[in-house]
Structure 1
C-alpha cells in the first residue's frame, strides 16, 4: 500500500512504531522495520554513548529504514542530532516541536524530520520551518497527550498543512488504518499495539497487566508531572493524586536520585530539563522534579517489571488488545485487514497490486 509516507521514508507499509522510552529499543525497532513498518528508536532514556550503540545494533539487525525519537528541549539535543547524522539514520522524530535550526541541520544532512504535534497550530509552525511530515496524536494516545480526539484533530491538521500527516492515538488494526487514510492521513502510528507484541522487551508481568486492562482501566492524570499523561490506573497513580505537595516533593527527590544514577545527569541538568518541560505551566517543585525523572517511574515497570512502583503509559486501545503477536504478524494482520476493509467499501474495484 503506497502512500506519501512510504515514499518519503522508504518503508513497505504506512505504519509507524512510535518511540517509547524503555520500550522502543533495538529489538523492537528492528523487528518493526523488518516487518515493513517504520521503527522508531526511543533515545530520551539513553546516554549519547548508548544511543550510538543502539543505532548500530539496529543496523546490525536490519537493512530497512528506521528512525530515532529525540527530545527537542533536551540540553544535549544538538549532540544527539550529530550522532544521527554521523550514523546515517534515515528519520528523526520529535516528541515536541524542534527548533527551526535543528530542522535545518537535519535536512541539510538528508535526514527526514517528523515532529509529533497535538494541535493544528503546532503542525503549521513546524511545516513552515521545513518539517517533512508530522505525526498528529489525539487524546486517545498514550503518554503525554492533549484533550482533542484524533477524529477531530486529524482532519484539522490534514487541511492545514501540505506535508504528509501520520495519525496517532487510538489505532491498533487495519480498520483504523483505512479510517485514517479516509481522513487524508498518509499512515498511522501505533505505540501501545507495538508494546504488546512478542518482540517487546517489557517484562511478562507488565504485559499481562496491560492485557488484563479494560478501557475503563486507562486514565488521564496530571498528578505525575503536571502534564496530561495517559496510563493504566494503579495504586501509585492513586497515591500521587492523593499526595500533598510536601509528600510529593520527598518522593520526587528520592526517585530523582535514582534516575540520576541511571542517566548520569547532574542535579542542575535534571532541574533544567524539568523546567524545560513546564512549557509555561505553573508547576510545583515536586512536579518539576517529577518531570525530570518520570523516565525512572516508567523504567520501574517497563524494565524492572514493578507494576506496583512504576508507571505504565497506555493509549486507550490497551483496553481492547488481547494478544501478543510478533511485529511481523501484527503488521501483516493490519495490512490484510485494511485490504479486506477497502474491498468491502469498494466491492467492484479490481484487487490492489
Structure 2
C-alpha cells in the first residue's frame, strides 16, 4: 500500500511501531522493519552508549529504514541527536515537540523529523518549523496521552497542515487503518499492539494480563508523574491513587526512583533535571 508516509520514509506499509520504553528495543524494531513497517527505537530508557549499540544492532540485522524516539526535554537530547546523525538513522521521532533549532539540525543532516502531538496548534507549530510528518495521538492512546478523541483530533490536524499525518490512539487492526486513511491520514502508529507481538520482550505473564483486560480495566491517571497516563488498572496504580499520605507517598516515590535509576543508568541529578523539565513542559 502506497501513501505519503511510505513514500517519505521508504517503507512498504503505512504503519509505525511506536518507541515504547523498555519494549521497543533492537529485536522488535528489527522485526518491524523486516516486515515492511517503520520501527522506532525507544531511547529514553537507554543510556547514550546503549542507544548507539542498539542502533548498530538493528543496522546489522536489516537494511530497512527505522527510527529513534527522543524526549525533546531530556538534558542530553543533543547528545542523542548527534548519535542519530552519526549512525545514519532515517527518522527521529519525538514524544514532545522539539525546538525549531533541533528540527533544523536534524534536517540539515538528512534525518526525517516526525514529532508526536496532541493538539492541532502543536501540529501547526512543528509543521511551520519544518517537521517532515507528524504523529497525532488522540486520547485513546496508551501511556502519556491527551483528552481529545482521535476521531475529533485527527481530521482537525489533517485539515490544518500540509505534511503527512500519522494517526495514533486506539488503533490495532486493518479496520482502524482503513478508518484513518478515510480521515485523510497517511498511516497509523501503534504501541500496545506491537507490545503484544512474539518479537516483544515483554514477559508472557504481562501480555496475558493485557489480553485478559476489558475496557473497564483501563484507567486514565495523573498519579504516576503528574501527566495523564492511560494504562491498566493495577495494584501499583491503586496504591498511587489511594491518598496514603505525603510521607508514605514520598517514600514510595524515592524507592521507585531508585529502581528506575538502576535500570536506566541515569544519575540522581540527571533524573531530577529531566523530571523538572517534564513537569514544567520544557
TM-score range, shorter chain: over 0.9
Asked if the contact 2:3–2:186 (Cα under 8 Å) also holds between the matched residues in 1, the reply is yes
Please say if 1:88 is aligned against 2:116: no
Please list the CA deviations of residues 245-292 of structure 1 after superposition, one character each: whole Å capped at 9, or x if unmatched: 2211111111112222333322222111111111369xxxxxxxxxxx
1:258 and 2:259 aligned: yes
Equivalent residue, structure 2, for 1:6: 6
The corresponding residue for 1:233 is 233
- Residue 197 (structure 1) aligns with: 197
Matches within 5 A, 1:1-353: 1-242=1-242, 243-279=244-280
**Alpha-carbon distance between aligned partners in 2 of 1:265 and 1:172, rounded to the nearest angstrom:** 33
Q: Structure 1-normalised TM-score?
A: 0.78
| SS of corresponding position for 1:277 | helix
Tell me, yes or no, if the aligned pair for 2:47 and 2:266 is still in contact at 8 Å.
Answer: no
Q: Is the 8 A contact 2:40 2:69 kept in 1?
A: yes
Change (3 A) 1:94 1:56: same
Give the whole-Å Cα distance in 1 for the aligned partners of 2:59 and 2:187: 24
> How far apart in 1 are the matches of 2:52 and 2:281?
32
Larger radius of gyration: 1
In the alignment, the residues of structure 2 paired with residue 175 and residue 162 of structure 1 have an alpha-carbon distance, to the nearest angstrom, of: 25
Paired with 1:246 and 1:119, the residues of 2 have a C-alpha distance of: 36
Unpaired runs of 5+ residues, structure 1, are 282-353
Aligned positions, number? 281
Give structure 2 stretches of 5+ with no counterpart: none
Aligned counterparts of 2:91 and 2:70: Cα–Cα separation in 1:
11
TM-fit CA distance, 1:79 = 0.3
SS in 2 for 1:179: helix
Q: Distance in 2 between matches of 1:162 and 1:60?
A: 35
The structural deviation recorded for 1:62 is 1.1
Hey, what's the Cα distance between the residues in 2 that align with 1:69 and 1:159? 26
Distance (Å, rounded) in 2 between the aligned partners of 1:117 and 1:279: 17
| Cα deviations by residue, 1:103-153 (Å, 9 ceiling, x for unpaired) | 000000000000000000110111111100000000000000001000000
Question: Equivalents in 2 of 1:269, 1:30: separation in Å?
Answer: 30
Counterparts of 1:225 and 1:141, CA distance in 2? 17
**C-alpha displacement of 1:63:** 1.0
With normalisation by structure 2, the TM-score equals 0.98
If asked which structure has higher relative contact order (CA below 8 Å, sep 6+), I would say: 1
Structure 1 distance, partners of 2:162, 2:144, is 26
Q: Secondary structure at the match of 1:231?
A: strand
Partners in 2 of 1:206 and 1:81 — Cα distance?
Answer: 32
